[in-house]
Amino acid sequence: MEKKNEPTLRVVPMPSDSNSNGDIFGGWIMSQVDIAGAIPVVQLVDGRVATVAVNSFVFKQPVFIGDLVSFYATIKKIGTTSVTVNVEVFAQRKARMEIVKVTDANLTYVHIDKNGKPKPINK
C-alpha cells in the first residue's frame, strides 16, 4: 500500500515506546496521531486548537521498534469552531521495504482563544 502525498509527520519508534514483545504501545501511536492531526488544523486556523473528540480509532496491524511510521492527516470537515481530520498511519518495516497500513483514525479539534474558549474559524 502506498501513499502519494507527503506525510504530515514521520517518526521511528524506539525501544522505550514498546512492550516486552517489541510491539509499540497503542497509546504511543494515539499520541502521535493526535499530534499529526493537529498540524493541518493549526495551519488552517493560525492559532490554538484543542482535541475535543476521537471519533474513531482502528488499529489494523502492529507497529514494531525501528519501523518508519508515516502519518497522513487530511481535513474532512470544517465547522464554525471545529475541524474534523482523518489520519492514516503507515509503517515501513525496517527489515523490508514493505509498507503496511497500521491505523486509521478520525479526530475533531476546536479552535480556541487565549482563555481556552471556542473561537470561530475564519474560512
* Per-residue model confidence as pLDDT tens digits over 90-110: 999 977 789 999 999 999 999
Model pLDDT, residue 2: 42
Confidence of residue 3 (pLDDT cuts 50, 70, 90): very low
Decide if 49 contacts 91 (C-beta within 8 A): no
Tens digits of per-residue pLDDT, 67-87?
Answer: 999 999 999 999 999 999 999
Q: What is the dihedral of CA 17, 14, 39, 110, to 10 degrees?
A: 10
| Choices 3.30.70.3040, 3.40.50.2000, 3.90.1200.10, 3.10.129.10: CATH for 9-112 | 3.10.129.10
Q: How many Å apart are CA 106 and CA 85, to the nearest integer?
A: 6
For the chain, give every domain's residue range: 9-112
Q: How many Å apart are CA 103 and CA 98, to the nearest integer?
A: 16
Place of cell 498511519: 89
Nearest CA among 29, 69, 31, 65 for reference residue 51: 31
pTM of the model: 0.92
